């Protein structure tokens, strides 16, 4: 019996992506995309360092450590060493745990949080060059962002989190490239990933920590699937367009466009379109938060407010506006990061939103909670989601006046990006919560100089001495 039936004339999407990945070369990546990739890595590493100061990371590392069988793979900012898959899981939790990591708007996906842990684990273990690690990262980002875009925002509507679900496929091809898989092995690996990819949005109803582990689990799934493919374990060919493939099984009757997975592949670099977050909260909320901060700057104060209405894209309501009761009084910091009422009220009260405004004490601020109770939402009729995550805040004052601020293009979007200096400043602000200024500078130099070094040297530089 043959391991693989004769391929039909029309290529499956997994075959098209496999051929692209098998022939992928670092030299094809333009300098601008490589620079952006290094900055995205730097941003995520700073967040991973900051995450060590939070209870979720301590509990996650304790659990993963208990499961770990031992190895030499590095956990960012830690003296721990683990096997590659568990290190990838841990690093994914650290990068994504503060919900401060980058976002690809069209894919609605935090792709770095899964792809970076996967390629760091495999490339460092196999002592690959820094240039190879960067290339694998870019490959994984190009695949994951496009596969996310296919759904046109639909995954969130039916309760799936594309960062975990789609991240597994990007990690599979990135890890597979590092492992030297041929095109057929990469097809098998994607088929296997279909049975390992996951990510539920149920955490939105109670502020649970599930989401924090999604990208790390995707990295584990990718490394696992690629390794099965390396050994020619047969995976389904129609991973994406099959009767029970990814999109049919997870989107049901919702519309999707498979053509978006390959549009511009190899000529348009999605890694350059990834947005770096300026605020530590769900990206869907940023425009409204910035609009509220501008109203604060205009002199609006809590005691003046009679009512607040926030206009948001219809597609994000389930994520950041419902259920209304818990959004108006979040039980913990994670629930607060997905709450339009809490985040808008905080920015209106304080003129800012920082990690400090998500600490336990801040969640009980009576002025903020008072405004939360006055906050409602409506669908934004002028939204162009998912191109931008725009929003508007309308404040009715006790004296009868109505003030409004609109943020049509959210700060950090691909056509309103944070610059290199802003990203480096964000890295240092986050890193300094865990390490000294000298150590942060050394890490920055190691990441930005990755292509002149090795993946193993980078990993050692990220470990706690």
pLDDT tens for 203-213 read: 998 889 999 99
Confidence of residue 464 (pLDDT cuts 50, 70, 90): confident
Q: Round the average pLDDT of the chain to a whole number and report it.
A: 96
Please tell me the distance from the alpha carbon of residue 326 to that of residue 208, in angstroms, as a whole number. 12
Please tell me the distance from the alpha carbon of residue 211 to that of residue 384, in angstroms, as a whole number. 26
Interval 260-303: pLDDT, tens: 999 999 999 999 999 999 999 999 999 999 999 999 999 999 99
b or e along 343-365 (b: 16 or more beta carbons within 10 Å of the residue's beta carbon)? bbbbbbbbeebebebbeeebbeb
Count of other CB atoms within 10 angstroms of residue 435? 21
Reduce the DSSP state of residue 63 to 3 states and report it. helix
| Helical ranges in 97-129 per DSSP H | 112-125
Pairing of β 375-379 and β 305-312 = parallel
Interval 73-130: pLDDT, tens: 999 999 999 999 999 999 999 999 999 999 999 999 999 999 999 999 999 999 999 9
- The pTM for the full model equals 0.94
Interval 179-194: pLDDT, tens: 999 999 999 999 999 9
CA 11 to chain centre: 30
User: Is 390 in contact with 251 (CB distance < 8 Å)?
Assistant: no
Cα distances from 209 to residues 96, 189, 239, in angstroms, run: 11, 29, 29
pLDDT of residue 9: 59
Residue 465 has pLDDT above 60, yes or no: no
Interval 15-57: pLDDT, tens: 999 999 999 999 999 999 999 999 999 999 999 999 999 999 9
Look up residue 313 and give its DSSP letter.
Answer: -
**Bridge-partner residues for 403, per DSSP?**
395
Closest to 56 measured CA to CA, from 260, 216, 212: 212
Beta strands in 177-289 (DSSP E): 274-275
Interval 398-439: pLDDT, tens: 999 999 999 999 999 989 999 999 999 999 999 999 999 999
Please tell me the distance from the alpha carbon of residue 126 to that of residue 144, in angstroms, as a whole number. 23
pLDDT of residue 273: 96
pLDDT of residue 8: 53
Residue 3 has pLDDT above 50, yes or no: no
Helices and strands (DSSP H and E) totals, the chain: 21, 8
12: left (phi over 0), alpha (psi -120 to 50) or beta: beta
Please tell me the distance from the alpha carbon of residue 153 to that of residue 385, in angstroms, as a whole number. 8
| Domain architecture of the chain: domains with CATH | 13-277+445-462 (1.10.4100.10), 283-407 (3.30.1330.120)
Please tell me the distance from the alpha carbon of residue 341 to that of residue 343, in angstroms, as a whole number. 6
pLDDT of residue 157: 95
CA angle 257, 114, 420 (to 5 degrees): 95
Burial of 417 (0-12, 13-18, 19+ CB in 10 A): middle
Please tell me the distance from the alpha carbon of residue 9 to that of residue 234, in angstroms, as a whole number. 20
């Amino acid at each position: 019996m043959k391991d693989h039936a004769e391929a039909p004339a029309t290529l499956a999407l997994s075959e098209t992506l496999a051929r692209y990945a098998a022939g992928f070369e670092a030299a094809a990546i333009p300098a601008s995309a490589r620079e952006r990739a290094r900055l995205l890595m730097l941003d995520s590493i700073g967040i991973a360092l900051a995450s060590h100061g939070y209870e979720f990371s301590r509990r996650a590392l304790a659990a993963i450590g208990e499961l770990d069988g031992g190895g030499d793979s590095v956990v960012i900012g830690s003296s721990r060493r683990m096997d590659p898959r568990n290190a990838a899981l841990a690093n994914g939790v650290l990068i994504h745990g503060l919900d401060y990591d980058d976002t690809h708007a069209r894919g609605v996906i935090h792709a770095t949080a899964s792809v970076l842990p996967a390629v760091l684990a495999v490339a460092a273990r196999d002592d690959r060059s820094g240039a190879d690690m960067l290339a694998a990262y870019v490959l994984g980002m190009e695949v994951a962002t496009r596969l996310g875009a296919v759904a046109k925002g639909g995954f969130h509507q039916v309760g799936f989190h594309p960062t975990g679900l789609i991240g597994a496929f990007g990690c599979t091809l990135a890890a597979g490239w590092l492992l030297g898989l041929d095109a057929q092995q990469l097809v098998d690996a994607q088929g296997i990933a279909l049975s390992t990819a996951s990510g539920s949005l149920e955490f939105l109803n109670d502020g649970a920590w599930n989401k924090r582990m999604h990208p790390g689990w995707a990295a584990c799934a990718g490394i696992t699937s690629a390794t099965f493919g390396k050994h020619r374990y047969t995976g389904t060919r129609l991973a994406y367009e099959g009767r029970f493939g990814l999109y049919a099984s997870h989107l049901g009757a919702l519309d999707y466009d498979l053509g978006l997975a390959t549009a511009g592949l190899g000529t348009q670099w999605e890694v350059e379109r990834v947005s770096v977050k300026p605020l530590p909260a769900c990206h869907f909320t940023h425009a409204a938060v910035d609009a509220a901060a501008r109203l604060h700057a205009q002199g609006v104060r809590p005691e003046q407010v009679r009512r607040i209405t926030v206009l948001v894209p219809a597609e994000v309501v389930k994520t950041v506006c419902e259920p209304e009761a818990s959004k108006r009084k979040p039980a913990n910091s994670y629930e607060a990061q997905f709450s339009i009422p809490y985040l808008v009220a905080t920015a209106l009260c304080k003129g800012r939103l920082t990690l400090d405004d998500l600490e336990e004490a801040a969640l009980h601020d009576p002025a903020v909670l008072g405004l939360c109770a006055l906050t409602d939402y409506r669908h934004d009729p002028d939204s162009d989601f998912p191109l931008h995550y725009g929003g508007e805040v309308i404040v009715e004052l006790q004296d009868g006046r109505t003030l409004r601020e609109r943020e049509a293009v959210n700060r950090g979007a691909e056509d309103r990006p944070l610059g290199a200096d802003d990203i480096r400043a964000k890295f240092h602000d986050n890193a300094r919560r865990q390490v000294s200024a000298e150590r942060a500078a050394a890490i920055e130099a190691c990441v930005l100089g990755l292509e002149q070094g090795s993946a193993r040297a980078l990993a050692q530089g990220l470990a706690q001495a």
